[in-house]
């Protein structure tokens, strides 16, 4: 019986690790908009610190930031649909049924069941993986010209 119990315990640990990983991925995707808009705001702030004669050399910079914000919003519409479609999926179905973690963003909608993850703010590396994944979706699903 001990071997059987050990096997079940190992299987449960593996399930917990898979769920935690899936939830961290969902949190990273849900944080995409906030993270990206913060980076745009930081770029705007940095631009504002430049002397005016340098700002004039970059006359397209602010309009480009506005286009970037619009693109972030469009990307987030896709991310939102992606996250909603992941709810109730396979062994990770408790991702959608768990209590809100109160971290803002869409965290209440895409919350986690493990309180250890509630304070988890995705790292820059996590966010780079999200951006890379979005670029790959775009490349794979866009019509070739």
Determine phi and psi for 57, rounding to 5 degrees.
Answer: -70, -25
* Domains held by the chain: number: 1
**Residues of the domain holding 58:** 2-141
pLDDT digits (tens, 9 = 90+) for 6-61: 787 888 888 888 888 888 899 999 999 999 999 999 999 999 999 999 999 999 99
pLDDT beyond 70 at 101:
no
Number of H helices, E strands in the chain: 7, 0
Mean pLDDT of the chain: 81
Helix (H, G, I), strand (E, B) or coil at 60: coil
Q: What sections of the chain are H helices per DSSP?
A: 2-30, 32-49, 52-57, 61-86, 94-97, 115-118, 124-141
């Amino acid at each position: 019986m001990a071997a059987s119990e050990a096997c079940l315990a190992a299987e449960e640990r593996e399930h917990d690790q898979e769920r935690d990983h899936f939830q961290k991925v969902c949190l990273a995707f849900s944080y995409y908009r906030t993270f990206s808009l913060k980076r745009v705001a930081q770029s705007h702030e940095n631009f504002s610190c430049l002397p005016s004669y340098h700002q004039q050399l970059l006359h397209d910079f602010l309009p480009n930031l506005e286009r970037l914000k619009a693109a972030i919003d469009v990307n987030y519409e896709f991310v939102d649909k992606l996250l909603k479609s992941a709810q109730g999926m396979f062994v990770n179905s408790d991702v959608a049924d768990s209590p809100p973690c109160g971290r803002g963003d869409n965290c209440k909608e895409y919350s986690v069941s493990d309180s250890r993850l509630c304070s988890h703010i995705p790292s820059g590396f996590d966010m780079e993986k999200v951006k890379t994944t979005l670029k790959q979706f775009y490349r794979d699903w866009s019509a070739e010209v």
